[in-house]
Structure 1
Amino acid sequence: MATKEFKLPDVGEGVAEGELVSWLVSPGDTVTEDQAVAEVETDKALVEVPSPYNGTVKELHVSEGEMVPVGDVIITYEVEGEAEDEPEVDVDDAEDAGEARADDAAETTDTAETETGETEQSSGKGGRVFAAPSARRLARELGVDIGSVDGSGPGGRVTEGDVRSAAEGDAESATADAGGAGDDAGPRSVEFSGKSATKRKGDAEQATNGQRAGGASTAEAAGRERTLAAPATRKLAEDEGVDLNDVPTDEARDGEAFVTQEAVLQYAEAQREAQQADAEAVQAEGETTEELVAADVEDDGAERVPYRGVRRTIGEQMAKSKYTAPHVTHHDSVVVDDLVDLREEMKGVAEERDAKLTYMPFIIKAVVAALKEYPYLNSTLDEEAGEIVLKDEYNIGIAVATDAGLMVPVVKECDRKSMLEIAREVSDLVERARNRKISREEMQGGTFTLTNFGAIGGEYATPIINFPEVGILGLGAIEERPAVRDGEVVAASTLPLSLSIDHRIVDGAVAAAFANTVMEYLDEPQLLLLDA
């Protein structure tokens, strides 16, 4: 029985992370290859993640509701007949780590020998190469001999920046960053690079006094280019968050500054006292605006919901549309008494043919007919090419309100489908969108969009265009409202319409003509049956 780790795959084009909405398995469950083990929500849609193995779930590494970067381990399996996964180990890194531990041990057991031995070489020139795996990979990609690169990292370690500098031929920069690591003989210690070329000497007590006087955290810092220190001192400085080049010292080895553990501890304590003093001063002066805001946020008792996934994608798309395309909205209303009667007559026939007939198929057919007369409403703007692209397909998006936000499934090739075919497809797409079972492909390729806010009881709105489309038609509620017939005010079933257009491509007069054509077909829906 072997152990296999399963990392979150790329569940969509360009997706970098996803929210693990729910687990479909538990530890101890037996799973088969391609069995769905989790539901993950990306910024595109909710998708099921299939298992790549036949085996038993050993451990789930992620909690429901947690954001997971693509490539992170989410499940560990126990798999029969498979080789055990072995972690990738960089040989030189393992060697470096082992020798660092040996150096620490040597210092602990024999300080005198440590202080009189030879300086360890930290570059590849005549010795080992200390480099992170990422730097080694970059060196291979750029064709750089990592053994010839001077390291600027702790202990002379070669960083990615050093490799890039070497690749660009900036030898002087690489040498300066490295600070001459490994060139000097002396006590067994490690050289550090710094930020300032000015050498200043002082003791830890002076640094402490400077901090207590309310100076900056590095007011008494040495600011050297290079510092010698034993491995254990180097480790202590790293743990304390101290730059050895800033630690004041009177000690020297072969003409170079030498820092002890005591000096590191005193300097670290001085920094902490200075930070505490600054904090107390701020508190004495009163809370800053930022702190007041933070306090208000903590105390207001409001619930905070993460802005991510589909909700964030919708928001970003709406903002892009609103601030890219200059919107103009045309409002109108059409009497649809005949449409109401015709739908009522045809509902029974539609049910016999397994179709639920709503008003939407009629409206889609009316919109397609109008788009054929006014093709600029069925276009996009290619800004890079400076061209308006007139589409020869009629793919109508239907905005659907879901728990995750607004989704827009697309009914493809509406001009080639019958009224009942459209009715079945709309019903299926809407249901699967609300259940989060719709695919990304089914929400792409639209050329014009309909949004039915009237389902909630509204009349007029200013819909935001589903960019990069150039038009969207909002539908109000079909209700009886006052209408004028033959000079008399009567009750009539009316449908309010709100048409938003991208004014860069469509003029207001064209938008009004398009809306009039849609209304003509809805006023006399029998005309639509000729193409149904």
Structure 2
Amino acid sequence: MTNEYKIPDLGGAADVEVIEVSVSVGDMVEAEQTLLVLETDKASMEIPAETSGTVEALSIQVGDKVNEGDVFITIASSAGSQSEAVSTEPVASELVEAEAVKTETTHTKSREQAIAVPDLGGSEGVEVIELAVAVGDVIDAEQTILVLESDKATMEIPAGEAGTVVSLAVSVGDKVSQGDAMLTLMADSSVSVSDSKVVDKPPVDNSAVQTTKTLTTTTATAEPVAANNAEPESHSSGEIHAGPAVRKLAREFGVDLSQVSATGRRGRITKDDVQLFVKQRLNSSATAVGSGMSGAGIPAVPEVDFAKFGPVTSEPLNNIKRATAKAMTTAWLNVPQVTQFDQADITDLETYRKQQNQLYQHQGIRFSIVPFVLKAIAKVMREFPQFGASLSADGESLIIKDYVHIGVAVDTPKGLLVPVIRDVDRLSVTEITQQLNEKAQSAREGKLTLSDMQGGCFSLSSLGGIGGTAFTPIVNPPEVAILGLSKSETKPVWNGQEFVPRLMLPLSLSYDHRVIDGAEAARFSQRLVACLQDLRNVLM
């Protein structure tokens, strides 16, 4: 029996990258064995087999982007193979039908043409960054079918022939070289008699003829964009000529292509044209700022060749760290942030925590300071609901949430992940501890789902186990506040008559100043200090 496996529910994520394929065609797999590993911006997910059997086909490869419901593997179970082997002699009607299908297929294949990668100017292993067509598309000879990007230039590869796309031999992220198959094309039915003769040749000859024709047709148009030295062409007529990759780049930068001067062939706008336009705008804005004029340009960090100072190595960031960097940059540029510093006397709380560890030791439960802080935060958030709110997209209203979900930052080998503990105000400290331990373990093993990291309305970042006296955590929109914990320290505290040793916990409360003002932040912080210094305040 043959089973097709589909990508399961990904918690709402789309276009999730395949970072590892753990099996190959012909492999024997067992139920629960990992078939592939996916990685989103926030987590990695292992997709297991549901039954045991033999891998018959793989529909994906490393670098592909998949969505829920996509077929990714075909597995023949042992039981299915045996049942199919019982009767192998087809009836007469099946033979007739099979022969008819075979005849039709042979006729169809005789019209199919393989389109190969043309001359790339000596480049090898050039990355495919965009596919501009899909199976079933009807295309013309000059239409771009894919975009390649080398270290120095971007190249748009045209079809070279008109027809219908039958299959694609490459996907985004693949590396290709001259002569590699790109796609299979069904020649246009409106070909001439002489063309039909070429099409009806045996497959081997047809492939050779088509490859030669493709190379001849596309060599001129597949030259690097950077080599174009034509004079810029204006778009006063309103007609814009640009490929899919260029239009996508323009959308990402927010560039109006009608304002970009074209240097490409036949008046086409290239990626270099778009990038030059953006650089000119940034430079003009930076100049305006430097001269005291109004402007919002951010000067680029100058590129440095560090190798000239000594040996260096380059290590690419994984998806999680790249996503974190992007999110933090967005937060820092868009949210006016202020940090309120405070200290809580947790001497009595620490004594109580140690007592509870002894009482729950037989249950395998060990309390850290974090669950107590989470419980106190939940209490104070109910009193100050704006700290769990979010600013609307238009910035005109505040969205108040009638729930207390708190994200807790967890340090993992791949980077920082923030699982969310839901309804913290309704949980006991013991329940918070259990959920926190479970989600922290899942985070370190790469088993967190997207739903585990969504819905938070406040965040907690604790560096107390590492050290430090204070820090300024960055608010992560759409949240408006985050609390940082540093390492507690015994300090002399004046009680009105003398200095006594007390265990003090440093608190760093960062907040969005558009939603929360300084007085509110100070009141929130002081109320939190009161709850941590005397847990009886949490019960009231």
The TM-score with structure 2 as length reference comes to 0.58
Contact 1:10 1:70 in 2 (8 A): no
Partner Cα separation in structure 2 for residue 464 and residue 75 of structure 1: 42
Q: Per residue, is there more helix in 1 or in 2?
A: 1
1:236 matched residue in structure 2: 212
User: Aligned partners of 2:335, 2:521: CA distance in 1, in Å?
Assistant: 15
C-alpha displacement at 1:380, in angstroms? 0.8
Q: Which residue of 1 aligns with 2:356?
A: 346
Q: Secondary structure at the match of 2:366?
A: coil
Q: Helix, strand or coil: the match of 1:334? A: strand
Once the two structures are superposed, what CA deviation does each residue of 1:235-291 show, in whole Å capped at 9, x if it has no partner?
Answer: 53422455799xxxxxxxxxxxxxxxxxxxxxxxxxxxxxxxxxxxxxxxxxxxxxx
Q: Find the residue that maps to 2:332 and give its secondary structure.
A: helix
- State yes or no: 1:377 paired with 2:353: no
Amino acid at match of 2:66: V
Work out whether 1:468 is the aligned partner of 2:478.
yes
Structure 1 residues not aligned, in runs of 5+:
102-130, 138-151, 160-180, 191-229, 246-292
Alignment of 1:15 with 2:7, yes or no, is: no
Rounded Cα–Cα distance in structure 2 between residues aligned with 1:486 and 1:404: 49
Q: Give the secondary structure class of the aligned counterpart of 1:56.
A: strand
Compared CA separation, residues 314 and 94, structure 1 to 2 (3 A):
farther
Instruction: Determine which of 65, 69, 75 is the counterpart of 2:65.
Output: 69
Question: Offset at 1:5?
Answer: 6.9
* Secondary structure at 2:464 match in 1: helix
1:501 match = 511
Q: Is the 8 A contact 2:18 2:36 kept in 1?
A: no
Match for 1:406 among 411, 416, 429? 416
Matches within 5 A, 1:486-525: 486=496, 488-525=498-535
Q: Deviations over 1:348-374 (max 9, x none)?
A: 223345532221222122212221222
State the partner residue of 1:41: 39
Alignment coverage as a number of residue pairs: 374
Alpha-carbon contact 1:17-1:70 (below 8 Å) kept: yes
DSSP-derived class of the 2:465 partner = helix
- Retained in 2: the 8 A contact 1:18–1:70? yes
The answer to whether the aligner puts 1:134 opposite 2:128 as a matched pair is no
- For residue 406 of structure 1, report the CA deviation from its aligned partner: 1.2
Q: Is the Cα contact below 8 Å between 1:10 and 1:16 reproduced in 2?
A: no
Q: Is the 8 A contact 1:401 1:407 kept in 2?
A: yes
- The range that moved more, 234-243 or 13-22, is 234-243
Residue 31 of structure 1: aligned partner: 30
Output aligned runs, 1:360-375, within 5 Å. Answer: 360-375=370-385
Q: Which amino acid aligns with 1:437?
A: K
Q: In structure 2, how many angstroms separate the alpha carbons of the residues matched to 1:295 and 1:319?
A: 24
Number of the residue aligned with 2:224: none
* 3-state DSSP of counterpart to 2:460: strand
Note if contact 1:478-1:496 (Cα within 8 Å) is conserved in structure 2.
yes
* Residue-by-residue CA offset, 1:91-150 (whole Å, 9 max, x unaligned): 99986863588xxxxxxxxxxxxxxxxxxxxxxxxxxxxx9953359xxxxxxxxxxxxx
Q: Contact 1:132–1:158 at 8 Å: present in 2 too?
A: no
Larger radius of gyration: 1
User: Which letter does structure 1 place at the counterpart of 2:65?
Assistant: P
The aligned runs of 1:435-446 (5 Å cut-off) are 435-446=445-456
Aligned position for 1:526: 536
How many Å apart are 1:311 and its aligned residue? 2.2
Q: Give the aligned residue type for 1:51.
A: A
1:231 to partner: Cα distance:
12
Task: Work out the CA distance in 1 between the residues paired with 2:308 and 2:4.
Answer: 39
TM-score, normalized by length of structure 1?
Answer: 0.59
CA RMSD of aligned residues (A): 4.5
Alignment of 1:43-442 (within 5 A): 43-51=41-49, 54-57=52-55, 66-70=62-66, 75=73, 77-79=75-77, 81=80, 98=110, 134-136=136-138, 154=160, 157=163, 188=194, 236-242=212-218, 301-384=311-394, 386-442=396-452
Shift of 1:419: 2.2
SS in 2 for 1:134: coil
Q: 2:29 and 2:210 mapped to 1: Cα distance?
A: 49
Q: Which has the higher strand share?
A: 2
Is 1:377–1:506's contact at 8 Å kept on the other side of the alignment? Answer: yes
| SS of corresponding position for 1:454 | coil
Name which of 451, 454, 478 aligns with 2:461.
451
